[in-house]
Amino acid sequence: MHALTVDNMTFGYDRSIDVLRNVSLTVEQGEFLSLAGPNGSGKTTLLRLLDKIYVPRHGTISLDGTSLSSFTRSAIARRMAFVPQDGGMVFPFTVAEIVLMGRAPHSRGQVFESSHDHDVVRGVMELTDIGHLADKPVTALSGGERQRVFIARALAQEPAIILLDEPNAHLDIAHQVDVFRLLKKLNKETGLTVVSVSHELNLAAAFSDRIALLVDGNLVACSAPSEVLTEERIRDVFHTRVLVDIHPAGHRPRITLLT
């Protein structure tokens, strides 16, 4: 079943320049899809279109077979969660308070959170290994800890689909792997559909079911990592010489820069 369908979609911030052109793409239910491509290729824009932050100029986007345009903002938030590159937290809310904000789409006008809301928050904090940080201000956390908090806040929405804009941005390699392992675990164990923008091609190759490659606003490939991440395509798209072989710990492609 298709969780999301993009059909011949074009988008631009003004009528003179198209940021994305005639993009058609399906995201299967329970899939881990990575969006890759050079800077300025339209990856983040596509992610925001999937979340109805932007509206296509032409074409359609459907959620579970229904046009996204017919969903209210709260209805989308109960189905999909969006994790931006930077959560932008300036005020020193505690970790528990931040995660509890994820229950807002389910409040239905209630002033106070229910016991179920608090149960959900405790569950996702345990799942993301941040329970011990519950009373700590988010401004005092490391980059990796904060990223897990924002993922926990998204999971508190109890979404079927999670959209992530470079979840490994600004993280060291250990935290990058931790975040992707967490997303893959949720994907496999709960059926969570994951759509993630990633500049780290090796991480995308290791964890994704498919990779959608965008170049200058055009979708040029969308298939298994081994079919998308070839030496010739990476050279042509990223203007970089690489060696692509098979990782010795599995059957995924591994990319090595040639200097």
Helix/strand/coil (H/E/C) assignment for every residue in 71-90:
CCHHHHHHHEEEECCCCCCC
Mean pLDDT of the 53-82 span:
95
Q: With cut-offs at 50, 70 and 90, classify the pLDDT of residue 143.
A: confident
| Residue linked to tokens 């003179």 | 16
Rg (CA), the chain: 19
Task: Give the CATH number for residue 114.
Answer: 3.40.50.300
pTM of the model: 0.92
Question: Do β-strands 80-83 and 2-11 pair in parallel, antiparallel, or remain unpaired?
Answer: unpaired
Domain that holds residue 119: 2-257
The yes-or-no verdict on residue 1 having pLDDT over 80 is no
- At 200-256, the pLDDT tens digits run 999 999 999 999 999 999 999 999 999 999 999 999 999 999 999 999 887 899 999
Q: Is 199 exposed, middle or buried (CB count within 10 Å of its CB: 0-12, 13-18, 19+)?
A: middle
Q: Supply the angle between the helices 115-127 and 143-155 in degrees, to the nearest 10.
A: 140
Q: Compute how many other C-beta atoms are within 10 angstroms of the C-beta atom of residue 258.
A: 9
Number of domains making up the chain = 1
- Determine contact, residues 205/212, Cβ cutoff 8 Å: no
Query: What's the mean pLDDT when you consider all of the chain?
Result: 92
